[in-house]
Amino acid sequence: MAKSLEDARKKLDDEYGQVRRHLDNIHQALNKVEEAGPEDDLFDLLDKLESAVKEVRTGGLIGHGAKGHRKAREEYLELKQG
């Protein structure tokens, strides 16, 4: 847990930035689905989109993803409120 409101805000901003940077993976996977034609494997493309979303949400093997942002946000708001 962060020791000060300033530390908590830094951690919140860092976690937010990490999630935002990884949103590009979702956009790329979504673009592939949108550009697919009738002969493309939509099931596989949607599976890859789902995997990209899950990785951003949960963080995959090495990251925190949106789960890390949620925790940092809760800590920040708790310190901010008092």
Q: pLDDT tens digits for 20-52? A: 998 999 999 999 999 999 999 999 999 999 999
AA letter at 26 = I
Characterise 65 by phi-psi region: left (phi > 0), alpha (psi -120 to 50), beta (else). left
Which has the closest alpha carbon to 23: 46, 55, 68? 55
- Residues listed for the chain: 82
Please give the pLDDT value at position 3.
Answer: 81
Residue 55 near residue 65 (C-beta atoms within 8 A): yes
Question: What is the reported pTM?
Answer: 0.79
